[in-house]
Chains A and B, each alone.
Chain A
Amino acid sequence: MTQQSRTSPAARGPGRRTVVGSMLGVGAAALAAPVLTACGGGPGSDPKTVTFGSNGADATPKSAYAALTSAFSKDSGLKVKTNTVDHDTFQKSITSYLQGTPDDVFTWFAGYRMRHFAKKRLCSPIDDVWETIGGGFSEATKQLCRGEDGKYYFVPLYNYPWAVFYRRSLFRERGYQVPRKWDEFVALAKRMKRDGLSPIASGYGGGDSWSVLGAFDYLNLRANGYDFHMRLMHGQVSWTDRRAARVLDLWRELTPYYQSGAGGRSWQDAAQSLLDKKSGMAVIGLFVGQQITDEKIRDDIDFFPFPEIDAAHGQDAVEAPTDGFMLSRRPRNADGARKFLEFLGSARAERQYMGVDPSNLAVHEKADTSSYNALQKKSARLIASARHISQFADRDSDPGFVATVLLPGLTQWLGHPDDGAGTLKRIESQRARFFTV
């Protein structure tokens, strides 16, 4: 402004107009920009490129997906343009992402969570892809990939089990026995606490509150069985049911042995305390292996299935979330995207991925498992032996219900695990908003 007031009076008028005018131009361009980008995304874009939206932003999955896409490019001559978004952000923005101009193929989760978008027609059916890849998958897997209308919407890549992880050498040094029943489990935790360990590694701070759901799911699966768990998750049973109350009662027996300060710790730090032998056990998924940097420790990590609570249900259910891919509503390069999905559903793609990220299990039946480490082999056996496979609370239920009702309720309760009935009542009060009761 000071510069301008020094110019001659004659030049002032038009000078100011030009400035204001050009500012308006910029403003108008900014207003028009969203419209323009929306136009650019119509069908008939570059037939040599497939776009791929990935939530694998951590180092290991990122390079594993890169290995996948470059293998596909070499095979098909099609270029894959990957658009990587942080895992949590990807989930948060998925609805608007799918309604805007999403990438042709995107990463997602099997089960209830996939069916939601299939029902809303925000993704395309891929029955034709399954004609090619169908032979490679078990019936249980196929079920996970179908929507409510019976059409396929999902290509699975890998799954991983949740279990109770521990370090073999720690158990050997201290003479701990792997518990099979609930009472043995609680007794072991008590003994670990006496030995100066944090018995159960725990970190659900920041964005990691989902990590408490593993214990919740298993307690419910073991105490009340798979059918009740699924009905509860689908909003068909009241949360004030005495069986749900029993889950919190059982959990309360365990909470004194949780690592303290858990509400402000990340799951990664909790996992690290297990690797450092400061914690004795952790209820977590096989992805805990992504935290391992020293290969010697990898051989020392082992797990046991979550202990039996009710003999009627034994250890018959395994929580094994399945990740994979979907096709967006109006892919720009439909043919290329289908070719890419066919590749992703092949045994070769599985090998490419597992070669980089050994913390998951291939879902494809003909996938090469010879390179599996001991933990992967044991995980595969665990899943194969299961009568029921659940996905995970936030995948078996309405994710909004889990994120805004169940998780705040459970994490608050974990801080002061006394008023279980009040917690369940608060959760129940919101059920009708998310499910048609």
Chain B
Amino acid sequence: MSSPPTAPHRPGRLGTGDRLFLTAVIGIPVLALLVLVWLPALASVALSFTSWDGIDLGDIHWTGLDNYHQILTNYPPFWPAVRHNVIWLLFTALLPTPFGIFLAYQLDKKIRFTRIYQTAIFLPMVLSLAVVGFIWEIIYNPDTGLLNSVLGTAGAGHPVDWLGDPDLNLWAVLVASGWRHTGYIMILYLAGLKGFDPALKEAAALDGANGRQTFLRVVFQALKPVNIIILVVTVMESLRAFDIVYVLGGGVGSKPGMELLSLLITDNIIGESGHIGYGSALAVVLLLVSLAAIGTFLVQTFRKEEQ
């Protein structure tokens, strides 16, 4: 902003009021960030080396690496949880995400009722999670559920136990999660497609590219920033997956077959007998995994960009 010629100050110098204002504008968010994000994060890391029941500060005992040792060697749900997180990531990245992109590409074409389709597909994202949980509970219910009724297994006395069977329930929840994720990805990609220069598509058509080639070689390449966002969103959503599993598991923590790292953390921290140190150690493990995944990806992306 240029100052008017009659201004008493030389351009480039700030008055006291401006300085105060800037200090406040930068200082308060930084303070909030420190107090609300960094302090708890560092406290968690520190607590992960202790044993504490979360009640009396005097009861914090230093235990060194014992929590980590226990988690890695003597915590039955830990490795299943890691495996489930990986399955979650692969499933989400391979099915709902490409499907969301596919839908966005189709809906971007000038078809009739496209707004209605967009709204319908995005709707799961708008619904509150409690409602989403409720909907899927009704679908998966063994006695009166939609799926068991359609399959004809409800009346026969041998319903498929979608949410109860430890071999099935993770996939049942993944379908519910994918249902939400598809709409989210579709909207993100659609936003990217709206800003896409149609001249590029015309040029591709003139060069004789078919629809698939146009998408893969031209559109997809040109929308690289959106692709990065989508990948980061997918990885993050998969690693921090919690809410829908928690709701469909009845809100009491991890259940056999549906263990996730995030749920193991709350298992140990929330509840009557808190194991804050143990839960913090699990949280640190999750933090490291997330940092590694996102960090590797971002470094690689930006390195390519520089070249």
Chain A residues proximal to chain B, CB less than 8 Å: 13, 17, 20-21, 24, 27-28, 31, 88-89, 91-96, 99, 113, 116, 120, 122, 198, 204-209, 260-265, 269, 273, 398-401, 403-404, 408, 411-412, 415, 426, 429-430, 433-434
Whole-angstrom CA separation of A88 from B54 in the bound complex: 20
Between A and B, how many residue pairs show CB distances below 8 Å? 145
Q: Does B70 contact A (CB under 8 A)?
A: yes
Whole-angstrom CA separation of A415 from B162 in the bound complex: 12
Residues of A within 8 A of B251 (CB): 88-89, 92, 206-207
Whole-angstrom CA separation of A166 from B243 in the bound complex: 38
Residues of B within 8 A of A99 (CB): 55
The answer to whether B272 touches A113 (Cβ under 8 A) is: yes
Q: Does B268 contact A (CB under 8 A)?
A: yes
19 contacts between A and B (CB under 8 A): A28-B28, A91-B272, A198-B157, A206-B163, A207-B249, A208-B250, A260-B161, A263-B165, A264-B163, A264-B165, A265-B141, A269-B141, A400-B275, A404-B254, A408-B254, A411-B256, A415-B164, A429-B74, A433-B275
The answer to whether B161 touches A263 (Cβ under 8 A) is: yes
Distance between A378 CB and nearest chain B CB, rounded to angstroms:
30
Whole-angstrom CA separation of A400 from B137 in the bound complex: 26
The answer to whether B32 touches A31 (Cβ under 8 A) is: yes
Whole-angstrom CA separation of A433 from B164 in the bound complex: 27
Whole-angstrom CA separation of A263 from B159 in the bound complex: 11
Task: Considering the complex, give the chain B residue whose CB is closest to the CB of A205.
Answer: B164
- Number of B interface residues in the complex (CB < 8 A): 54
- Knowing A99-B55, A264-B140, A415-B164, the reply to whether A433 touches B278 (Cβ < 8 A) is yes
Q: Does B143 contact A (CB under 8 A)?
A: yes
List CB contacts (< 8 Å) of B28-69 with chain A.
Answer: 28-29, 32, 35-36, 53-56
Residues of B within 8 A of A403 (CB): 252-253, 267, 271
4 extra interface residue pairs, beta carbon distance < 8 Å, beyond A262-B142, A400-B271, A400-B275: A204-B164, A264-B159, A408-B77, A434-B273
Whole-angstrom CA separation of A88 from B257 in the bound complex: 21
- Knowing A24-B28, A260-B157, A412-B257, the reply to whether A399 touches B271 (Cβ < 8 A) is yes
Chain B residues proximal to chain A, CB less than 8 Å: 1, 21, 24-25, 28-29, 32, 35-36, 53-56, 70, 74-77, 137, 140-143, 148, 157-166, 169, 248-257, 267-268, 270-275, 278
Whole-angstrom CA separation of A99 from B169 in the bound complex: 36
Whole-angstrom CA separation of A412 from B259 in the bound complex: 12
Task: Considering the complex, give the chain A residue whose CB is closest to the CB of B278.
Answer: A433
Distance between B75 CB and nearest chain A CB, rounded to angstroms:
8
The residue among A17, A206, A434 with the most chain B CB atoms within 10 A of its own CB is A206
Task: Considering the complex, give the chain A residue whose CB is closest to the CB of B36.
Answer: A31
Whole-angstrom CA separation of A94 from B77 in the bound complex: 25
Task: Considering the complex, give the chain B residue whose CB is closest to the CB of A113.
Answer: B272
The answer to whether B271 touches A264 (Cβ under 8 A) is: no
The answer to whether A408 touches B250 (Cβ under 8 A) is: no
Residues of A within 8 A of B267 (CB): 403-404
Task: Considering the complex, give the chain B residue whose CB is closest to the CB of A93.
Answer: B270
- Knowing A93-B270, A120-B55, A415-B166, the reply to whether A206 touches B161 (Cβ < 8 A) is no
